[in-house]
Amino acid sequence: MNAPTSVTVRVPAKVNLRLAVGPVRGDGYHGLVNVFHAVSLYDEVTVSPRSDLAPGQAVLSVDGERPDHVARVPLDDSNLAARAAALLARHVPHATGVHIHVHKAIPVAGGMAGGSADAAAALVACDALWEGDTPRERLLELAAELGSDVAFPLIGCTAVGTGRGEQLSPLPVQGTFHWVFALVDGGLSTTKVFAEYDRLRPDAPEPTLDDALVAALAAGDARRLGAALTNDLQPAALALRPELGDLLEAGRAAGALGALVSGSGPTCAFLAESADHARELAAALRASGTCADTVTAHGPVPGATVV
Ligand code: ATP
């Protein structure tokens, strides 16, 4: 069979249903218990071979519906998708140079792990392009080398991450949950949010999983899930961006079953009762003037998939 001329992988964004942050560990990372939930908001990463580049070397292009977000994606070696291609190239025999095109729908620097999703997609796409047949377990290890949030978009659905967040165990979920994500202008640096967290919580306890959250997911109970959503980084994100408090309040006032800052923010996530309720909630949030835009999505959805 001939090698493919290009491979496109679709990869979902995530929302953290629980983000419990412990004290800083000896290696400088925070211990985390992180419940990841993949939602139907996708980036598409397309890779094609470039014979004029060294194996694993990449040139990038990015497009998408939100020019302000597209403009914030780096086009150099710091792009996580380029780093993923370079890493995988060291582990498969027939790597080439690549053009990586990212079609961006996941908000940039929004706490929805868009960069990590692109890295996961690039691993899967390059492995298919180079016919690496890398075992899934190995891809998960390489993903964890690239960053704490890169392994999850490979598996998608709903999973609890421990350690730095990269040791994943799938969680059983019944049914589908409906979400509204409220986008606000500007990003929030994950590093700065963690630094603020350390300042606010110098005595953070060891992070734990919450039985009520696990039970709500297994039962497909949106009301109980809404009540169980928590994010330890939220006070730090609100300290850096106080206006997010008004956004969360606007969502609660409009009937959201749960409202929280997504990951390190500033995107905020709102749980709805149904797809129709999500559309109503989104309209109410836009009308409140507390966000720049909204997107609706459902979860859980599968991880990075060749299309
Ligand atoms: P997380 O939730 O994992 O902290 P995030 O969703 O807040 O991440 P990203 O969209 O992943 O943030 O972007 C964080 C920064 O990473 C951006 O400001 C950008 O400079 C850089 N970056 C590197 N590669 C990418 C990529 N492929 N897409 C978007 N940003 C990228």
The predicted structure's pLDDT at residue 237: 96
The predicted structure's pLDDT at residue 24: 86
- The residue to mutate among 42, 47, 108, 192, having the most atoms of ligand 1 within 8 angstroms of its beta carbon, is 108
Give the whole-number percent of the chain exceeding pLDDT 90: 88
Whether residues 166 and 182 fall in one domain: no
Whether residues 160 and 236 fall in one domain: no
pLDDT tens digits along 62-74: 999 899 899 999 9
Whether residues 14 and 131 fall in one domain: yes
Q: Atom 14 in ligand 1: which residue has the minimum CA distance?
A: 109
Q: From the CB of 95, is ligand 1 less than 6 Å away? A: no
**Which of 118, 140, 170 delimits the end of a domain?**
170
Statement: residue 1 has pLDDT above 70: no
Statement: residue 120 has pLDDT above 90: yes
**Which of 170, 190, 213 delimits the end of a domain?**
170
CATH code, 121: 3.30.230.10
Q: From the CB of 112, is ligand 1 less than 6 Å away? A: yes
The predicted structure's pLDDT at residue 285: 98
CATH code, 214: 3.30.70.890
Residue 169 Cα to ligand 1 middle (Å): 24
Count, in order, helices (H) and strands (E) of the chain: 11, 12
Note whether 290 and 259 are within 8 A (CB).
no
The predicted structure's pLDDT at residue 103: 98
From the candidates 118, 127, 149, 232, give the one annotated as an active-site residue: 149
Q: Please name which of 214, 262, 197 lies closest in space to residue 41, comparing C-alpha atoms.
A: 262
The predicted structure's pLDDT at residue 91: 97
Whether residues 109 and 183 fall in one domain: no
Distance (Å, rounded) from C-alpha 146 to C-alpha 127?
16
**167-170 vs 158-162, strand pairing mode:** antiparallel
Whether residues 95 and 187 fall in one domain: no
Q: From the CB of 196, is ligand 1 less than 6 Å away? A: no
Whether residues 138 and 261 fall in one domain: no
Statement: residue 251 has pLDDT above 80: yes
Distance (Å, rounded) from C-alpha 275 to C-alpha 26?
44
* 76 annotated active-site: no
Whether residues 116 and 217 fall in one domain: no
Whether residues 107 and 11 fall in one domain: yes
The predicted structure's pLDDT at residue 27: 85
Give the whole-number percent of the chain exceeding pLDDT 70: 99
How large is the greatest C-alpha to C-alpha distance in the chain, in angstroms?
A: 58
* 77 annotated active-site: no
Is there a domain that residue 104 lies in? yes
Statement: residue 165 has pLDDT above 80: no
- Closest approach atom of ligand 1 to CA 265: 7
Statement: residue 3 has pLDDT above 90: no
**Which of 117, 145, 170 delimits the end of a domain?**
170
Is there a domain that residue 1 lies in? no
Note whether 112 and 41 are within 8 A (CB).
yes
Q: Atom 3 in ligand 1: which residue has the minimum CA distance?
A: 113
**How buried is residue 193: exposed, middle or buried, by Cβ count under 10 Å (0-12/13-18/19+)?**
buried
Who has greater pLDDT, 2 or 204? 204
207 — pLDDT class (breaks 50, 70, 90): very high
| Binding residue ranges | 107-117
Work out the average pLDDT over 272-297: 97
Q: From the CB of 81, is ligand 1 less than 6 Å away? A: yes
As for the ipTM of the complex, it is: 0.93
Whether residues 140 and 210 fall in one domain: no
pLDDT tens digits along 56-103: 999 999 999 899 899 999 999 999 999 999 999 999 999 999 999 999
Structural domain count of the chain = 2
Is there a domain that residue 81 lies in? yes
Whether residues 147 and 209 fall in one domain: no
Distance (Å, rounded) from C-alpha 13 to C-alpha 296?
12
Who has greater pLDDT, 28 or 290? 290
Note whether 251 and 268 are within 8 A (CB).
yes
Whether residues 57 and 163 fall in one domain: yes
Statement: residue 194 has pLDDT above 70: yes
**Cβ neighbours of residue 53 closer than 8 Å, sequence gap 6 or more:** 59, 96, 97, 98
Q: From the CB of 46, is ligand 1 less than 6 Å away? A: no
pLDDT tens digits along 134-145: 999 999 999 999
The predicted structure's pLDDT at residue 272: 98
Q: From the CB of 72, is ligand 1 less than 6 Å away? A: yes
Phi first, then psi: give them for residue 30, nearest 5 degrees: -85, 140
Q: Which domain holds residue 209?
A: 177-299
Whether residues 32 and 161 fall in one domain: yes
Residue 35 Cα to ligand 1 middle (Å): 19
Distance (Å, rounded) from C-alpha 260 to C-alpha 191?
19
Work out the average pLDDT over 219-227: 98
